[in-house]
Amino acid sequence: MSGTRSRSSAFGARHFTLVWLSGLIWHLTRWGVAFLGTFLVNDMTGSPRLVQLAGTMLYAPLLLGGVLGGVVSDRFDRLLTVRTQLGVLIPLSVAVGILVRTDRAPLWVIYLYMFLVGIGWVTDMTSRRALVFDLVGDDRIDHAMAMESLSLSSGMVLGALFGGSAVGAVGVGSAYFFIAGLLLVALLLLTPVRSPPIVRSQATGSPIADLVDGVRALRAQRGVFAILGVTVIANFFLFAYFPIIPVVAERLDATPFLVGLLTAGTGIGMMTGSLVMARLAPVRRGMFYVGGLFIALGFLVPFARGTVFVVVLASLICSGVGSGFFGATQTTLVMAAAPEELRGRALGLLSMAIGALPLGMYVLGEVAERIGVSDALTLNAALGAIVLLVWSLRRPEVARMTTTQSPDTVETPVS
């Protein structure tokens, strides 16, 4: 039994541990940037709309560049692409830290920086995760993706706690210097890694033509689009609340550290859900994918309406458990449903579906500005549950999907 587990463990694959650790630090820094940016904008403006706009800028590249990022992943060296994005963000983080420390950072600089970090996330979603698949292969991909989800949730927890602690200890400006240092560590961890030999798309045409051809081919994959529909719902209705947490925390009179702890609540739950998924390794992953989203949406209501810190934190943790079920299955199901030669572009489509997040953030910010944060969050969760129910009834194959067989990848046009 132990031999079987060893062969299925992604950490047994060469270089996976280094790539995973680098990814963990990347997630920590990305969530740290998300916390610092929204905390800073809330401190500067006190406007739910402008706080949500900060989150919108962070996630906007997913909508605008996700599929193009998939083309880059399929055509170019994935390891080099990841190293480049880390190298670019290091000096930018230092520059932002200097501007904030000297009180010379206008709002647009914070928005621009968050947009550039969002471009880095597109790179991670498409190139690094496809690199993980190259490293571990089919036999270990389930465990690898569960570990990827764990690194995301762990990074969320650590990034939020880091942000809250750093603001209280050294201030927002100096915290950006720590962000730059962590990005440097993530880059150095990739130094010994070598790209595995794989067959890449021949660059005989333009990237745009390659993109169009890939999307046309993926349209015939019914399972891929069924999964992406659930992803759109999750990101528009569920995860849109992330930037507004500091505004909710103000109602609870929370200190900067407690704001960070509250932000970490979702990550704590996601980490728990991811560990459960890694332990169970269920065949019916589609059921956890959809069911986890229902759980996550349901617990947003007590989060939105709670007036006691412990209740609000517990609600976010429970919601995060559902998000962990959802996140641990998402990438695996997409890659199981997509043909091998199109996996990079399938991940690009996934990041584009996640790109519904900035739209959801913007809408939530506008609604919160008009009817209040609590009512806006409650309305968002209720509408999300209704839309998910309708989609699940229309596409019942999503909940039936597995990672060991893919009957839903039959080439049937998507209606």
Kindly state the DSSP code that residue 128 receives in the 8-state scheme.
I
Decide which of 30 and 332 is more confident: 30
pLDDT of residue 28: 92
Q: What span, in angstroms and rounded, lies between the C-alpha atoms of 364 and 100?
A: 27
Kindly state the DSSP code that residue 15 receives in the 8-state scheme.
T
108: which residues sit within 8 A by CB, 6+ positions away? none
Q: What span, in angstroms and rounded, lies between the C-alpha atoms of 260 and 258?
A: 5
Residues in the chain: 415
Indicate if the pLDDT at residue 310 is higher than 90.
yes
Residue 21 CB-density burial (10 A; 0-12 exposed, 13-18 middle, 19+ buried): middle
Kindly state the DSSP code that residue 403 receives in the 8-state scheme.
S
pTM, 2 dp: 0.72
**In this prediction, what percent of the chain has a pLDDT beyond 90?**
30
- Which of 99-108, 124-133, 203-212, 226-235 has the least mean pLDDT? 203-212
Q: Per residue in 240-273, pLDDT tens?
A: 998 889 888 888 888 888 888 998 898 899 888 8
Q: Mean of the per-residue pLDDT values for the chain?
A: 81
Q: Per residue in 145-200, pLDDT tens?
A: 778 777 877 888 888 888 888 888 888 899 999 999 999 999 999 999 887 766 45
Indicate if the pLDDT at residue 405 is higher than 60.
no
Q: What span, in angstroms and rounded, lies between the C-alpha atoms of 405 and 161?
A: 40
Q: State the CATH class of domain 14-191+211-406.
A: mainly alpha
Helix (H) or strand (E) holding 260: helix 256-280
> What number is the average pLDDT over the span 98-124?
90
Q: What span, in angstroms and rounded, lies between the C-alpha atoms of 252 and 352?
A: 35
> What number is the average pLDDT over the span 15-37?
91
Q: What span, in angstroms and rounded, lies between the C-alpha atoms of 304 and 373?
A: 8
> What number is the average pLDDT over the span 268-294?
83
> What number is the average pLDDT over the span 98-117?
93
pLDDT category of residue 204 using cuts at 50, 70 and 90: very low
Q: What span, in angstroms and rounded, lies between the C-alpha atoms of 162 and 297?
A: 26
SS3 221: strand
Asked whether 312 and 262 are in contact (CB, 8 A), the reply is yes
SS3 285: helix
